[in-house]
Structure 1
Amino acid sequence: MTSPLFQPTRIGDLTLPNRIVMPPLTRARAAQPGNVPTAMNAAYYAQRASAGLIIAEATDISADAKGYSLTPGVHSAAQIAGWRLVTEAVHRRGGRIFLQIWHCGRMSHADFHDGALPVAPSAVAFAGQIWKAGADDHRGQGGMVACPTPRALETAEIAGIVADFRQAALNAIEAGFDGVEIHAANGYLIDQFLRSTSNQRGDQYGGSRENRLRFLLEVTDAVTSAIGAARTGVRLSPCNRANGMDCPDSIPTAVEAAARLAERGVAYLHTNEPGDDSPEATQVRQQLRAAFPGPIIVAGGYTRERADAVLASGDVDLVAFGKLFIANPDLPARLQHGWPLNTPEPATFFGGDARGYIDYPTHTATEEQPA
């Protein structure tokens, strides 16, 4: 019997040949100065074009959105031109590619903002760290650093960030992407608005669940009005409670968000899990499915066997494989044929050059090497 992983499906106006997704994976290899995608980035994504869908790495909507060193943007002419190298390379290989767009909010550092504090819904410190390279380090030999307590956004400033998301989506389409994914997960700015732990505002963007959802829905409406709902996906992470994001209302908020996104007809909902088959993760998948009848992508340490099982349940439609795609450019073929998998090299995940980026062999290349 054919695995559901290798059955075609649709997302928006796209027909996907399989249900294997390459999720957004921060690799910190944008060229400096300017955080510009390069031909090396194009080669990396083109190698992985056999995925049903590629969602390219989280990309800054503006200079103010930055939270990590060496991550790309999509707000300058040079960045748009760099991303066009990527989309053309992927499309030449027959692939499909969305771009994840983000604002990091409080998960940032003053060094990225000319000494100014990062912004957030409220002046509540982020309990974790972000990855940062030295000012003159263009090879990514950085490390983890603490974030300062952010500055709370003024109500009047929020519309400008919504407009930045809209323009970033338009820029992505200009660069040749098939669509965009709004990053509303993993503790970044939109997720910070969704959680009562990080959002302690007293205006129309804080307090009630409806108010905490407002920013996400305004961003979604702005993006869909610019490029169409069929080219807009959204990522949520209701089970992620790390680093001060343990909001007691996170799951009900995500389910309500899913229902409101379904009303808007977005192309898909993307969610990530802790990487296990816990009863909570199963329950959340079922709740999201009940609220969102469109395509749902799930990520979280999935194997071929777990992916087959979750697809058979009907709770999701596609499965994303992160670290496996880093190390296996031909992952769909390896999964389909049961070929052995390359082992990822964590030391090369963030920053650096071609090593650990575009030099992982395909199975065919490995087989053709002389003994």
Structure 2
Amino acid sequence: MKLLEPIATPVLSLANRIVMAPMSRRRVENEGVPSELLARYYAQRASAGLIIAESTVISRNGMGISLLPGIYSKEQVAGWKRVTDAVHQQGGKIFIQLVHSGRIGHTLNIPGGLSPVGPSAIAAAGTISTPAGTQTLPVPEALSAEAVEEMYHLHMQATRNALAAGFDGVELHAAHGYLMEQFIHPAANQRTDQYGGSIENRCRLPLRILEGMVAIAGADRVGIRFSPFASLNGLSPYEEETATYCYLATKLDKLKIRFIHLSDQSTNGHPPIPPAFTALLREQFHQWLILAGGYNTDTALDALQQFSADLIAFGRPFISNPDLVARIAQQQPFAPADKSTFYEGGAKGLIDYPFMAACATT
């Protein structure tokens, strides 16, 4: 079965083509420091060819949504080191997803009561959950030229911290309406400096950050996630979208980063990524392509066999199936997940889903 075939470069070797997609579980309560609970959670799922750990913020004002882990303090690095050690002891590979929430945040969620920031002072439509209840998303502070420069350096330090924490690589989160996509998208970015206006200018910051990541970690240890054509966090499809991502793909191919990771949100009610778009991206980007978005075994195999992707990321199936790879190999059904325990809480719904052998004895 192609899903179970290994895939490798001289630097990165994966046991199979099954990726555990990054999923925020919002269970980090101690100053963004991952707990032993998260170490056990990821170690249980280490049979995936690659785990991409949940969105991890690069700075205090990058939090946006509460209870996310961070990678900007020594304590956070030590917490993640426990996680990576646990995964590696089980023979797994794990990347971290680096994120800054940008305008998708609220002072009530950000440590120290800091204000959310964005490329421009334009609020996203919608609301956000806070300790004081649901709030309207505020107008962010527009990043100054100096603050954009600082954002670059924050990503560089986060990359160094991720390597110090033992991660096998880093994924830049440029999807789902967060800061990197806010720079790319013309609805959120109306700057008039070198980071706004044309496609080239709007893509300048994420590309510069990726160049820096490659210099620090090496191209084989760097990836990026996009969610084209989705309508998440106030960013809807736009006229130049295909041209924008084709430009990015061409630049990323020259950088030779290890993968582009496409997040299709059609199972959540958003427009799908057209197959023609994926094919066009394949023509311009010659490293690994990871596809995510509601896949089952059959559709994942079809995508691999049609060469639409090199790897397939599974999200929610990994929540309730820590042994998902074994279930796929043995053609066993996936266990259903309890949606009420997706976010916040403790061990329940995180590390208590049984493996197949345990299921057979109950």
**Alignment partner of 2:19: what SS?**
strand
Does the CA-based 8 Å contact 1:326-1:357 persist in structure 2?
yes
* 1:23 aligns to 2:14 (yes or no): no
Listed as ranges, the matches of 1:150-229 within 5 Å are: 150-229=140-219
* 1:341 aligns to 2:334 (yes or no): yes
- The aligned residue for residue 315 of structure 1 is 308
Does the CA-based 8 Å contact 1:122-1:153 persist in structure 2?
yes
- The aligned residue for residue 253 of structure 1 is 244
**Residues in 1 aligned to 2:135 and 2:278: alpha-carbon distance in whole angstroms:** 34
**Residues in 2 aligned to 1:73 and 1:279: alpha-carbon distance in whole angstroms:** 31
* 1:106 aligns to 2:96 (yes or no): no
CA offset digits 1:57-79 (Å, max 9, x no partner): 01011112111111000111110
- The aligned residue for residue 352 of structure 1 is 345
Does the CA-based 8 Å contact 1:51-1:95 persist in structure 2?
yes
* 1:273 aligns to 2:264 (yes or no): yes
1:132 deviation in Å?
3.3
CA offset digits 1:19-68 (Å, max 9, x no partner): 10001100011132x11101110000000000000000010111121111
**Residues in 1 aligned to 2:318 and 2:134: alpha-carbon distance in whole angstroms:** 24
- The aligned residue for residue 283 of structure 2 is 290
Indicate how the Cα distance of structure 1 residues 88 and 82 shifts in structure 2: closer, same or farther if over 3 A, else same.
same
**Residues in 2 aligned to 1:67 and 1:210: alpha-carbon distance in whole angstroms:** 27
Say how many residue pairs are matched: 358
CA offset digits 1:331-366 (Å, max 9, x no partner): 011112121211111111110000000000111110
Whichever residue aligns with residue 334 of structure 2, its letter is L
Which TM-score applies when normalising by structure 2? Answer: 0.95
Whichever residue aligns with residue 82 of structure 1, its letter is G
- The aligned residue for residue 357 of structure 2 is 364
1:308 deviation in Å?
0.8
1:264 is aligned, of 255, 259, 262, to 255
Does the CA-based 8 Å contact 1:11-1:267 persist in structure 2?
no
- The aligned residue for residue 242 of structure 1 is 232
Does the CA-based 8 Å contact 2:230-2:264 persist in structure 1?
yes
**Residues in 1 aligned to 2:220 and 2:360: alpha-carbon distance in whole angstroms:** 40
**Alignment partner of 1:110: what SS?**
coil
Does the CA-based 8 Å contact 1:251-1:284 persist in structure 2?
yes
- The aligned residue for residue 7 of structure 1 is 5
Does the CA-based 8 Å contact 1:273-1:281 persist in structure 2?
no
**Alignment partner of 1:54: what SS?**
strand
1:12 deviation in Å?
6.8
Which TM-score applies when normalising by structure 1? Answer: 0.93
Whichever residue aligns with residue 54 of structure 1, its letter is I
1:11 deviation in Å?
5.6
Does the CA-based 8 Å contact 1:12-1:231 persist in structure 2?
no
Give the fraction of aligned pairs with identical amino acids, expressed as a percent.
42
**Residues in 2 aligned to 1:323 and 1:31: alpha-carbon distance in whole angstroms:** 22
Listed as ranges, the matches of 1:295-310 within 5 Å are: 295-310=288-303
- The aligned residue for residue 93 of structure 2 is 96
Give structure 1 stretches of 5+ with no counterpart.
Answer: 135-142
**Alignment partner of 1:180: what SS?**
strand
**Residues in 1 aligned to 2:338 and 2:172: alpha-carbon distance in whole angstroms:** 28
**Residues in 2 aligned to 1:12 and 1:297: alpha-carbon distance in whole angstroms:** 19
CA offset digits 1:170-196 (Å, max 9, x no partner): 101101100110111110000000001
Q: Aligned Cα RMSD in Å?
A: 1.7
Give structure 2 stretches of 5+ with no counterpart.
Answer: none
1:243 deviation in Å?
3.6
1:15 deviation in Å?
1.2
Does the CA-based 8 Å contact 1:9-1:17 persist in structure 2?
yes
1:218 deviation in Å?
1.1
- The aligned residue for residue 137 of structure 1 is none
- The aligned residue for residue 78 of structure 2 is 81
**Residues in 1 aligned to 2:16 and 2:310: alpha-carbon distance in whole angstroms:** 10
